Amino acid sequence: MITAFMTTSAAAPAKTDDFQYANERFADLQMLRYKVEGFENLSLRQKTLIYYLSEAALWGRDILFDQNGKYNLRVRRTLEAVYTDYAGNRDSEDFKAMEVYLKRVWFSNGIHHHYGCEKFVPGFSEDFFRAAVKSIDSARLPLADGQTTEGLLDELCPVIFRPDVLAKRVNLAGGADLIKTSASNYYENVSQEEAEEYYASMKNLDDPHPVMYGMNSRLVKTPDGQIIEKKWTSGGLYGEAIKKIVGFLNLARPYAEDEKQKEVIDKLVEYYTTGDLKTFDEYSILWVQNTEPLVDFVNGFIECYGDPLGLKCSWESIVNFKNLEATKRTEILSGNAQWFEDHSPVADEFKKEEVKGITAKVINAAILGGDLYPSTAIGINLPNSDWVRKEHGSKSVTIGNLTEAYNRSAVGNGFREEFVWSKKEVELMDKYADVTDDLHTDLHECLGHGSGKLLPGVDPDSLKAYGSTIEEARADLFALYYLADKKMTELGLVPDAEAYKAQYYSYMMNGLLTQLVRITPGNDIEEAHMRNRAVIARWVYEQGKKDKVVELVKREGKTFVKVNDYKKLRELFGALLSEVQRIKSTGDFSAARDLVENYGVKIDGELHKEILERYRHLDIAPYKGFINPVYTVVKDGNGTIVDVKVDYTEGYAEQMLRYSRDYSVLPSVNE
Ligand code: ZN
């Protein structure tokens, strides 16, 4: 699972270097570059391994586009054809608005906002679009067999221009049929009830080693009423792209760092070929045990946030290598994992007797692909299978060079000065936030997600649509609770016993106020990590109200968070951790629903307006994403690879057009 995103209150340290992190801006987005620190010092073998794995990482892009919505590839290809070939006035308002729209489609891997999931509102007219598409050579358009340009336009215009068509990518709002009201392309012609029944009938709750049913297929009702799974394999749905991925995995194989890593690659290839979910579990176990190599990678159907039922996994990839210096920090935490488990405020029956093999490391990303590109996580914890995690452990990573890029690009943006209550808190954050932000992520990843256990017989999916939010809350609360523990100073992880306050303050400020900048007025909070932060911040605020633990205070019409009692705040985090773990361990669906619906969803409209207004004045893009570096192999006269070079000069549109040209084999309609 993706376990951490950068928050809007990114730290702003004073350090600078001459690498250009910030790149272009459009809509609510800021593009950044990241530096692959240490790449030059890797061995030729490691560099070559990264090169081939990065090719495999880029070949899955179209899969994600199609998973995110059945018209996405058609929309993207049509827009790209207009963008490159249009001979009319490219300075017109319509053309410029279409360019922004295309850049957003690239960024979101589809026509819905990558975070809020709502469909983009185009800033150009349908008349312009129709005329522009008709003006270019129809051979450049993604026409189906026998389809005319007019036919394509009639198909795509409602998708782009009508607000009521495919309005949300993922709908989590209770009450409606979540599948029918979600535009993501994981189900065809089936209702939520049919899908739930289909998978419930597969489950055997007595099986200690259940596969993750449904994670690698589209569920389809055929015209004769049969419900079937169309699997994503090299011979099945998305086969053309999967064959390319497999090809590059096989090219990477000889450069693997040890025999085990070769087995990992072989197993992944076997799984891509057969689609067998038992093979996927075997692969996950091999992967989690393969901790020696410096270079590591994720490549496959991994994240389930795009499916309202949380079963279907989106395709993603990251290739990375260990940052040895920063990893020392996470090794201290995982070395003490059992101590943390034993001393947590959670009831004993929900604790793990034996915490197994949490390997935590800080990595540098070398390439991002699929659901991790261009918008990305800064923390990932895998595999997702509950029993594999319990019996074989999990790998937990924080991505050091991406965090660094966020921080460097935020220098001097005025955010703290606007939203932080007083100089005292600003100083606290200046002094400690770099350390405590990283530590929060480490605790969340290395210990939080790995802690606790389900009671025997509890269905891991029993919290349904609330499961992801509760899981994120559990990991965040674990981190918050322990940041203030004297164990942190004993282990030398924080400079002193005051440091945690920087994180407590920024967490409350973000959860109560500033994360709202990411939401369009009138909308609810939808995304699991944001719901989690709202649940935590608002719950402790409510519970501590009578003692004024945390206050919302006004100054000159502006709302601020004021923390009066950090010690009590910690106790409240501990109390909520205990309750959230109980909910998870016992599968208490109604308690999960109440907690999330009461604290994590609704927004006070007045407050929202104020925060947006203040934020607007700062002129900061609420979302950021990354342009990948470009790797090129250098060969000698015999065709032998003698070096791999990394380059950072490619522009955003240039990169996206290149990917669409060079890494695109899927048909526009995938059925
Ligand atoms: Zn997490």
Ligand 1 midpoint to CA 664 (Å): 32
Which tokens go with 317?
Answer: 């990839």
Of the two residues 356 and 571, the one the predictor is more confident about is 571
Ligand 1 midpoint to CA 401 (Å): 19
Ligand 1 midpoint to CA 566 (Å): 24
Name the band, by pLDDT with cuts 50, 70 and 90, for residue 13. very low
Q: What is the mean pLDDT of residues 40-61?
A: 98
Cα(544)–Cα(57) distance, integer angstroms:
47
Q: Are 277 and 284 in contact (CB under 8 A)?
A: no
Ligand 1 midpoint to CA 569 (Å): 21
Q: Above 60 in pLDDT, residue 16?
A: no
pLDDT score for 321 = 98
Ligand 1 midpoint to CA 342 (Å): 21
The mean pLDDT of the chain is 94
Nearest to 450 by CA among 382, 349, 364: 382
Which tokens go with 517?
Answer: 């900048």
Ligand 1 midpoint to CA 53 (Å): 25
Ligand 1 midpoint to CA 212 (Å): 19
Q: Are 539 and 470 in contact (CB under 8 A)?
A: no
Cα(665)–Cα(668) distance, integer angstroms:
9
Ligand 1 midpoint to CA 472 (Å): 5
Task: Provide the residue ranges of all domains of the chain, joining segments of one domain with +.
Answer: 15-37+323-626, 62-169+634-662
DSSP tally for the chain: helices H, then strands E: 24, 16
Q: Which of 7-21, 112-126, 437-451, 576-590 comes out lowest in average pLDDT?
A: 7-21
For the chain, the first-to-last Cα distance in angstroms comes to 28
Q: Above 90 in pLDDT, residue 570?
A: yes
Q: Are 572 and 550 in contact (CB under 8 A)?
A: no
DSSP tag of 206: T
Q: What is the mean pLDDT of residues 585-595?
A: 98
Cα(278)–Cα(212) distance, integer angstroms:
9
Q: Is the dihedral of CA 475, 478, 483, 486 positive or negative?
A: negative
Q: Are 359 and 324 in contact (CB under 8 A)?
A: no
pLDDT score for 357 = 57
Ligand 1 midpoint to CA 251 (Å): 33
Ligand 1 midpoint to CA 51 (Å): 29
3 state DSSP class of 210: coil
User: Mean pLDDT highest for which of 11-20, 236-245, 434-443?
Assistant: 236-245
Which tokens go with 348?
Answer: 């004993």
Ligand 1 midpoint to CA 264 (Å): 25
Name the band, by pLDDT with cuts 50, 70 and 90, for residue 218. very high
Dump pLDDT digits (tens) for 245-272. Answer: 999 999 999 999 999 999 999 999 999 9
pLDDT score for 14 = 43
Ligand 1 midpoint to CA 133 (Å): 43
Backbone angles phi, psi at 651, to 5 degrees: -80, 170
Dump pLDDT digits (tens) for 623-638. Answer: 999 999 999 999 999 9
Ligand 1 midpoint to CA 443 (Å): 10
Ligand 1 midpoint to CA 1 (Å): 7
Ligand 1 midpoint to CA 377 (Å): 10
Ligand 1 midpoint to CA 605 (Å): 28
High-pLDDT (> 90) share of the chain, %: 85
Ligand 1 midpoint to CA 224 (Å): 42
Ligand 1 midpoint to CA 358 (Å): 14
Ligand 1 midpoint to CA 265 (Å): 26
Ligand 1 midpoint to CA 141 (Å): 41
Q: Above 90 in pLDDT, residue 205?
A: no
Ligand 1 midpoint to CA 381 (Å): 7
Burial of 603 (0-12, 13-18, 19+ CB in 10 A): middle
Ligand 1 midpoint to CA 476 (Å): 7
Ligand 1 midpoint to CA 653 (Å): 31
Ligand 1 midpoint to CA 539 (Å): 19
Ligand 1 midpoint to CA 222 (Å): 37
pLDDT score for 173 = 83
Q: Facing residues of 368 across strands?
A: 318
Ligand 1 midpoint to CA 471 (Å): 7
Cα(493)–Cα(495) distance, integer angstroms:
7
Cis peptide before 374 (omega within 30 of 0): yes
Ligand 1 midpoint to CA 468 (Å): 9
Which tokens go with 290?
Answer: 């393969």
High-pLDDT (> 70) share of the chain, %: 98
pTM here? 0.82
3 state DSSP class of 520: coil
pLDDT score for 17 = 64
